[in-house]
Amino acid sequence: MENKAVLKNLYKKKIRDQVFEQLLNQITSGVWKPGEKILSENELTAIMGVSRISIREALQKLAAMDLVETYRGKGTFVKEFTTNNYLKSLTPMLLLSKQDVRYVLQYRRILELGIIDLYMSNLKKRDINRLQKDLDKMILYKDDLSKYRIYDLDFHVVLYEMTGNPVILKITNMIRDILNSALGVALTEEGAEEGIEFHSKILKLIKERDTDNLKLVVSELFDKIEEDLDKEEAKAAKAAEKEQ
């Protein structure tokens, strides 16, 4: 592919940031065009002289920004995008550090545990149907993280809406892009499989109106997300040490 020459071998510090910047530039400069299949992780690793983990993390960031889509067995493709949705997805992602993602998770844990009693007291059949539809879509798109993330986030937004509290809804609308970006950074294929299991438990407990166990499962969900983040950061740190 002609676009291989644009990528450079990297030896300096903050390799992961440089990998991300170069791949992002391939898209924004038009070298990789919408609909085009980009180089594989193995090809990018060989060309850029970095670890596969660094490449994977950069691709996950691009997916979180809605700039690429990955299909198991097919590869990663550049998405069709407009200036408006490009800027919309780019801004919060570039502002979120790993620590920021943890702060978002803390916010979500506090909110989602705190609203359980409220939305359970307002529970309606149509709410359960909406949650079920989102869960079904999560299962359908478990191998397509960019689409899976849409329905994962919407599942939780439905819970916020079920409270009937207009302040919660207004704040959610204001920070939805940030929530989406944080989810994109934290989400992995393994995490998607685990997410389906947790969300299935949550919906089951909501249907059974089992508030006490629902609180336990929601807390366990956020424990698991933070545990997965720890593992990913440990892997990335080891990879960065090897690249120094």
Q: How far apart are CA 3 and CA 62, in angstroms?
A: 18
For CATH 1.10.10.10, the residue range(s) in the chain are: 2-85
Q: How far is CA 203 from CA 96, 162, 199, 210, in A?
A: 30, 13, 6, 10
What residue spans in the chain does CATH classification 1.20.120.530 cover? 96-243
CATH 1.10.10.10 is held by the domain 96-243: no
**pLDDT higher than threshold 70 for residue 94:** no
β-partners of residue 78 are 68
**pLDDT given for residue 9 in this prediction:** 56
Residue 176 near residue 157 (C-beta atoms within 8 A): yes
Q: Which two tokens stand for residue 202?
A: 């949550």
The radius of gyration of the chain's CA atoms, rounded to the nearest angstrom, is 19
Predicted local confidence at residue 154, as pLDDT: 93
**pLDDT above 90 coverage of the chain, percent:** 44
- pLDDT of 241 above 70: yes
Closest CA to 11 of 49, 58, 67, 66: 49
Please spell the DSSP secondary structure of 151-162, one letter per residue: HHHHHHHHHHHH
Q: How far apart are CA 68 and CA 141, in angstroms?
A: 15
Confidence of residue 7 (pLDDT cuts 50, 70, 90): low
The per-residue pLDDT of the chain, averaged, comes to 84
231 neighbors 57 (Cβ within 8 angstroms): no
Q: Are 38 and 68 in contact (CB under 8 A)?
A: yes
Give the CATH number of domain 2-85; options: 3.40.50.1980, 1.20.200.10, 1.10.3720.10, 1.10.10.10: 1.10.10.10
SS3 state of residue 122: coil
Cα separation, 4 vs 24, whole angstroms = 14
Q: Scanning the structure block, which residue is given the tokens 């994962």?
A: 152
Q: Residue 121: enclosing H or E segment and its boundaries?
A: helix 116-121
Cα–Cα nearest to 48, from 73, 70, 26, 66: 26
